[in-house]
Structure 1
Amino acid sequence: MFKVGLIVNPIAGMGGKVGLKGTDGIDILSRAIAMGARKESPHKTVKALEFLKGAEDRINILTCSGEMGQEECIEAGITCTVIENTGKYTTSSDTEKAAVKMLNEGVDLILFSGGDGTARSIYNAVGKKCPVLGIPSGVKIHSAVFAKSPSDAGRLVEEIALKAYIDCSEREVMDIDEEALREDRVAARLYGYMNVPCNKRYVQKLKSGSSIEDSNDLSGISRYVIDNIESDCCYIIGAGTTTRSIFEDLNEDYTLIGVDVVKNGRVIIKDACERDLVQLTSKDRCKIIVSPIGGQGYLFGRGNQQISSEVISNVGKDNIIIIATSEKMLSLFNEPLLVDTGDERTDEYLKGVYKVVVGYDRFYAWKCE
């Protein structure tokens, strides 16, 4: 039997749609709940586990009680063995404790659900002693230890269990200081490496940073966008350094790691949450401006969860404007753009070929899948 240790961070991703950049700390979690945040990680974990239903004769899942794994297995119809009992409210120390126990139980793979903070906890506990794979369900998912989507995580574990062999490579564990993010400062750090199954089809790449060499492209992109702004149309502008140049040229205040709304050249909503955007797009004409994550290619579902499936549905795919420097697009090595909105119908709807603005009147045609 192939032994899989399952660890779920049940609060991962709750801060995304309400614009809180994460859920590190009890105060931020309380704010997220007060703002109407819903749990994302349990649902995404079930999506991954559903691919293992036909492989139960080969897989033995060891997990934690309650929302840290047991409840998700029950919902997915998967048999599991509880080896770690947890309380109603769990913390990163519970994740680390569970990972150590699973390591001592001799699991072949630790499958965890969360974001970069959860990946750090797993790293602290096991380092490179055991293969790991992340189910992406957090707000920040920059590390190269995650599957491209919850479904891809399930597919990969199913394939590995069938072969009963894991070919691994060392992949980076990155995280960003959430407090710095809330002050519009990006402070990223490499924490270490973990062994992750080698599979380019199912495992995402590391997020790459921006280069100072992009300045000419950024200026041209910004001028093109501003020159083509339509009167009385609301522009929902996603996070990142590429979109930042638009606000700088408009001389408008903005949220570096957040979503802002511009109308007639002025910011009308700063650091918008999903609820703000749903209300706006249900009554006003809107367009979305986003830039893919460098090295990974994600348009939606990574750091801009405020632009949810409902918002995208209200706006329509024909009103999505993609901007990126030539260098950022070339960093994808001709691989497609990606989406992971958490809604399969929306992900399917977004597939197709898009025009990507890479300079003033300069475009690439790029496939999204």
Structure 2
Amino acid sequence: MKKIGFIVNPIAGIGGKVGLKGSDGAETLKRALTLGAVPESGKKAVTAMRELAEAQNLFELYTYPAEMGANICEEAGLEYRELGEIASGHTTAADTRIAAEKLKESGVDLLVFVGGDGTARDIMDAVGTDIPVLGIPAGCKIHSGVYALNPKTAGKLLREYVEGKVRETIEAEVMDINEELFRQGIVEAQLYGYLQIPRETKMVQHLKSGRRYSESVSVDMLSSYIADIWEPDTLYIVGTGSTTAAIMKKMGLPNTLLGVDLVWRKKVIASDCTEKQILNVLKSGKYNHVKIIVTVIGGQGYIFGRGNQQISADVIRMVGRENIIVAASKDKMLSLFGKPLYVDTGNEEINELLSGYIRVVVGYEETYVTKIM
């Protein structure tokens, strides 16, 4: 019988919807709560762990108290053994490291953790490559290759693991960025080390790829095309990334590289918006036509749920799938090697709504039809 360890970082991703682009540090957490942020990682953890409910007889589950695991196990209908102690409501990165160390000492075969890149670093510091791990994605920024594609897929992979269908492991990179620079629009990613993960490449995300010089021509052409078809009486919700920044530049508009901006009648009416700000604008009733413009994360294929959590499931529901424009360079699409695009909105209903085929603008009047999963 397999022994599974389970740890939740309760504050992972809490800064995403309020536009803070991360949750590292006590001051960031305080600011996120002041802005009305609510914990998201627990919901995502439940989505994953419910996939294990019918395989309970195949494994023993070890976890930490309250919001670091026990609460999620109960909600998912799982039996568990509780280890350690925490100050509920006041957990820190140190709690994650201590929990990982204790679970390793208890002899777990696989350590499952919920969080983002900072959490992956804490897990790496605690267990190294001594035992295999699997990340359930819940952070704002997820550059590391140790996470499943989304919480539901994480649960399916865990199910296959406890059923003995996945036995081999591989090393995967733990990456993180400097959040302070990230908030200033500067992406500085660094390799911190490696973790062992189950070898199932179709269910685990790839590293975020960097830009190629040859992207520039494709981005310029698609930017020109979108600028030419821009509708003046439509409210545009413009997502994060260098591709959307290039579109804004082509329009002669200022842009928040790593934030979400609102454009009406070819003027920016709100910059670096939170989810709440976007929803308030949509609910105002002033705008009859709304579109969302997003790009693709190269190498990973995500269009929602990675770095643009401000464009939440509720925002997408109000705007509608038919009003989403996806734009990406040809090189970025080729970097996916034929794999589909992914969404991880934290809401299974919206994930399902977004699934299916979609056109991606890759040049001037050029589109690439691909599938969203």
The answer to whether the Cα contact below 8 Å between 1:116 and 1:138 also exists between their aligned partners in 2 is yes
The aligned counterpart of 2:176 is 175
Provide the C-alpha distance between the structure 2 equivalents of 1:161 and 1:318, rounded to a whole number of angstroms.
Answer: 39
Give the counterpart letter for 2:372 in structure 1: C
The aligned counterpart of 2:141 is 140
The aligned counterpart of 1:361 is 365
Provide the C-alpha distance between the structure 2 equivalents of 1:5 and 1:18, rounded to a whole number of angstroms.
Answer: 31
The answer to whether the Cα contact below 8 Å between 1:259 and 1:272 also exists between their aligned partners in 2 is yes
The aligned counterpart of 2:272 is 271
- Give the gaps of 5 or more residues in structure 2: none
The aligned counterpart of 1:254 is 255
Give the counterpart letter for 2:22 in structure 1: G
After superposition, residues 8-157 of structure 1 pair within 5 angstroms as: 8-88=8-88, 89-157=90-158
The answer to whether the Cα contact below 8 Å between 1:2 and 1:164 also exists between their aligned partners in 2 is no
Provide the C-alpha distance between the structure 1 equivalents of 2:150 and 2:166, rounded to a whole number of angstroms.
Answer: 22
Provide the C-alpha distance between the structure 2 equivalents of 1:212 and 1:164, rounded to a whole number of angstroms.
Answer: 41
TM-score in terms of structure 1 length: 0.97
Provide the C-alpha distance between the structure 1 equivalents of 2:165 and 2:320, rounded to a whole number of angstroms.
Answer: 44
CA shift, 1:317, in A, is 0.9
The answer to whether the Cα contact below 8 Å between 1:286 and 1:315 also exists between their aligned partners in 2 is yes
CA shift, 1:320, in A, is 0.6
The aligned counterpart of 1:314 is 318
The answer to whether the Cα contact below 8 Å between 2:160 and 2:166 also exists between their aligned partners in 1 is no
Residue-by-residue CA offset, 1:8-37 (whole Å, 9 max, x unaligned): 000111111111111111111111111111
The aligned counterpart of 1:338 is 342
Task: Determine helix, strand or coil for the equivalent of 2:240.
Answer: coil
Provide the C-alpha distance between the structure 2 equivalents of 1:46 and 1:366, rounded to a whole number of angstroms.
Answer: 30
Matched, 1:301 2:302: no
Provide the C-alpha distance between the structure 1 equivalents of 2:151 and 2:9, rounded to a whole number of angstroms.
Answer: 14
CA shift, 1:165, in A, is 5.8
Task: Determine helix, strand or coil for the equivalent of 2:306.
Answer: coil
CA shift, 1:225, in A, is 1.0
Give the counterpart letter for 1:302 in structure 2: R
Give the counterpart letter for 1:170 in structure 2: E
Give the counterpart letter for 2:301 in structure 1: G
Residue-by-residue CA offset, 1:191-250 (whole Å, 9 max, x unaligned): 111111111232111111111221111111111111111112111111111111122223
The aligned counterpart of 2:216 is 215
The answer to whether the Cα contact below 8 Å between 2:303 and 2:341 also exists between their aligned partners in 1 is yes
Task: Determine helix, strand or coil for the equivalent of 2:209.
Answer: coil
Residue number among 316, 321, 330 corresponding to 1:326 in the alignment: 330
Residue-by-residue CA offset, 1:256-300 (whole Å, 9 max, x unaligned): 111111222221110011111112223212100000111111111
The answer to whether the Cα contact below 8 Å between 2:248 and 2:255 also exists between their aligned partners in 1 is yes
The answer to whether the Cα contact below 8 Å between 2:166 and 2:200 also exists between their aligned partners in 1 is no
Residue-by-residue CA offset, 1:301-322 (whole Å, 9 max, x unaligned): 1111111111111111111111
Provide the C-alpha distance between the structure 1 equivalents of 2:43 and 2:281, rounded to a whole number of angstroms.
Answer: 27
TM-score in terms of structure 2 length: 0.96
Provide the C-alpha distance between the structure 2 equivalents of 1:91 and 1:111, rounded to a whole number of angstroms.
Answer: 18
The answer to whether the Cα contact below 8 Å between 2:166 and 2:199 also exists between their aligned partners in 1 is no
CA shift, 1:135, in A, is 0.6
Provide the C-alpha distance between the structure 2 equivalents of 1:71 and 1:122, rounded to a whole number of angstroms.
Answer: 21
Provide the C-alpha distance between the structure 2 equivalents of 1:231 and 1:325, rounded to a whole number of angstroms.
Answer: 25
The answer to whether the Cα contact below 8 Å between 1:4 and 1:108 also exists between their aligned partners in 2 is yes
Residue-by-residue CA offset, 1:161-218 (whole Å, 9 max, x unaligned): 1118631111111111111111111111111111111112321111111112211111
Task: Determine helix, strand or coil for the equivalent of 1:125.
Answer: helix
**172-181 or 244-253, which moves further after superposition?**
244-253
Q: Considering only aligned residues, what root-mean-square deviation do their CA atoms show, in Å?
A: 1.2
The aligned counterpart of 1:238 is 239
Residue-by-residue CA offset, 1:89-124 (whole Å, 9 max, x unaligned): 111111111111111111101100001110111011
Matched, 1:187 2:191: no
Percent of pairs with identical residues = 48
Residue number among 338, 352, 363 corresponding to 1:348 in the alignment: 352
Give the counterpart letter for 2:216 in structure 1: S
The aligned counterpart of 2:167 is 166
Give the counterpart letter for 1:156 in structure 2: L
Give the counterpart letter for 1:252 in structure 2: L
